[in-house]
Amino acid sequence: MAVSFVTTSPEEEEAKPKLGLGNIQTPLIFNPSMLNLQPNIPNQFIWPDDEKPSIDVPELDVPLIDLQNLLSAPSSTLEASRQISEACKKHGFFLVVNHGISEKLISDAHEYTSRFFDMPLSEKQRVLRKPGESVGYASSFTGRFSTKLPWKETLSFRFCDDKSRSKSVQDYFCDALGHGFEPFGKVYQEYCEAMSSLSLKIMELLGLSLGVNRDYFRDFFGENDSIMRLNYYPPCQKPDLTLGTGPHCDPTSLTILHQDHINGLQVFVENQWRSIRPNPKAFVVNIGDTFMALSNDRYKSCLHRAVVNSESERKSLAFFLCPKNDRVVKPPTELLDSITSRRYPDFTWSMFLEFTQKHYRADMNTLQAFSDWLTKP
């Protein structure tokens, strides 16, 4: 599997893709409604042969964890923690159902995702993601990378589980787009609060499965400073040449994903890509690099990607749980002994986030590259 190290430099800035006629050059803009009128996709979206997608892949068998009354039923909790432990040692993916999140809230979140991405490009660009930042609208990351561009649009914003910033999401939409977007802000504020609460419940199970105090990770992620991302994958006339999201491991701690009804998520397990079928009643949960460091490599942050198709658009809602920015990431003492040495140096989430935004394009080796970067002379 190919990996790539990306540094930000003046040379890279000059190498960013340019399209135009004659001597007039304009930056490449990902506008799928225009690009899909062309017989071919631009070369910047074509992936190398060894990374081109395979649509028809076998399904991944992931455990389905029923959260209803889970933490109050010892036998069910024990079985769930066993299933989670097995999955996280192998690939880090599992599903949760009976999670307590209302169907209406999930439906509203998808509806407002459609409304946002249906807006004219000029309107979406009002919240354009700035270089080196992790929030805002991104049009296929054309301003950041020059090759292997993903066939997608995203909108990312921060969620702070901090009483002093209790309306951080709602304020973002109103401040960035105007008070007419207050309904968007209210829905995503409520959705993020629900995701934060759900993620802390899952952290209790992860703690139990690792043999540490059930409150350890829940407390660690109190006042979390997380990221919410809306993903939109338009239809593509050449889906066999490009990817919606390239192969990567999430640098964050825990991802809680809700897919719409279109298949697209694939996970690399045992040297083979496998799909995770959409389930409207379930959330897909996966371990990220930061939690892999917290578990001292016991749990895996697994390579995954998203494919596109020529028939249907696809949407997903991704909540990335992250620690408070200045919290030091290191494994609990229960996971260390005279035999098990530390796999990664101490770091804060803000340091890791900056590394992924300014120095490195996320892939299967992000955490190791970051560790090497931290410890280099």
Q: What is the pLDDT of residues 348-367, one digit of tens each?
A: 999 999 999 888 888 889 99
Rounded distance, CA 55 to CA 269, Å? 16
| Catalytic one of 218, 314, 327, 361 | 314
pLDDT score of 13: 34
Give the Cβ contact number of residue 251 at 10 Å: 23
How is residue 281 written in tokens? Answer: 């009643």
Domain boundaries, the chain: 65-375
Q: What is the pLDDT of residues 37-56, one digit of tens each?
A: 788 899 999 999 999 998 78
> CATH fold of 65-375, please?
Jelly Rolls (2.60.120)
How is residue 199 written in tokens? Answer: 């993620």
Q: What is the pLDDT of residues 60-103, one digit of tens each?
A: 999 999 998 776 778 788 889 999 999 999 999 999 999 999 99
Whether pTM > 0.95 for this model: the answer is no
Rounded distance, CA 245 to CA 192, Å? 22
Rounded distance, CA 353 to CA 346, Å? 14
User: Is 314 known to be catalytic?
Assistant: yes
How is residue 127 written in tokens? Answer: 């919240």
